[in-house]
A and B are shown apart, each in its own frame.
Chain A
């Protein structure tokens, strides 16, 4: 594990894995939690290796604010960044990762397009399901 490990707390599988890939592309180690309870478990077992926690404000369970308070009290050395929307999460990840990865090669462009396609398909499916329930 490198010196800089990010714990990413996000319940959307597409967003979580895309952001994790992006941050790994910048050279960080990334571990993932689907909710605040998983984040606590990971911090308890690997807390000393984690430098940053990037968490959704609306994280499933106790929520991002409560998780941030718990981290401040129990792991004061860990920096917490809260996000409120997918756009905000991407911006925060970009803040951590501002030297790259730059989309300069055909491979990265293809990767970027695949992520956009996945996100768009996910949103379309969610809207279709929501429409079906109404």
Chain B
């Protein structure tokens, strides 16, 4: 049986950048459960290509250490030039907030998925759907 079309989500659009596929997949699923539209990227340069292609995004949530030509800090800096009003939340288990001066939105790893979802809504000044958190 072919599933029937579902109503589209109307929450914020999140560009999720994470090279660990299991973390990315679980976090993306949690964000979708909270009504977000999620674009998944496995590397910073892939995320930049998406933005470069005109992708509509309300917030970026990115790991710092990733394979590829860019890390998360450089991604945030380049996005700061391309889309100055686009908030970027960085996460890392290796760096501290003071190591990435000038980039104030930081969530240390390990984090609880619910805390990360809440951070996405907080940075946009929005409330998660009732009953989600």
Q: Which residues of A contact B (CB under 8 A)?
A: 2, 4, 13-14, 16-17, 20-21, 24-28, 31-34, 38, 41-42, 45-46, 96-102, 107, 111, 114, 117-119, 121-122, 125
| B83 CB to nearest A CB, Å | 15
Binds A, one of B2-10, B95-103, B122-130: B2-10
CA distance in complex: A49, B54 (Å):
33
Q: Which residues of B contact A (CB under 8 A)?
A: 2-6, 8, 21-22, 25, 28-29, 37, 39-43, 46-47, 49-50, 52-56
**A32 and B56: CB pair below 8 A?**
no
**A45 and B22: CB pair below 8 A?**
yes
**A117 and B54: CB pair below 8 A?**
yes
**B53 and A32: CB pair below 8 A?**
no
CA distance in complex: A41, B26 (Å):
13
**A26 and B42: CB pair below 8 A?**
no
Q: Nearest CB to that of A95 among chain B residues?
A: B2
In the complex where A13-B50, A14-B55 touch, is A42 in contact with B6 (Cβ < 8 A)? no
Which A residues lie within 8 Å of B42 (CB)? 34, 38
Q: Which residue, of A21, A34, A96, A114, has the highest number of chain B Cβ atoms within 10 A?
A: A34
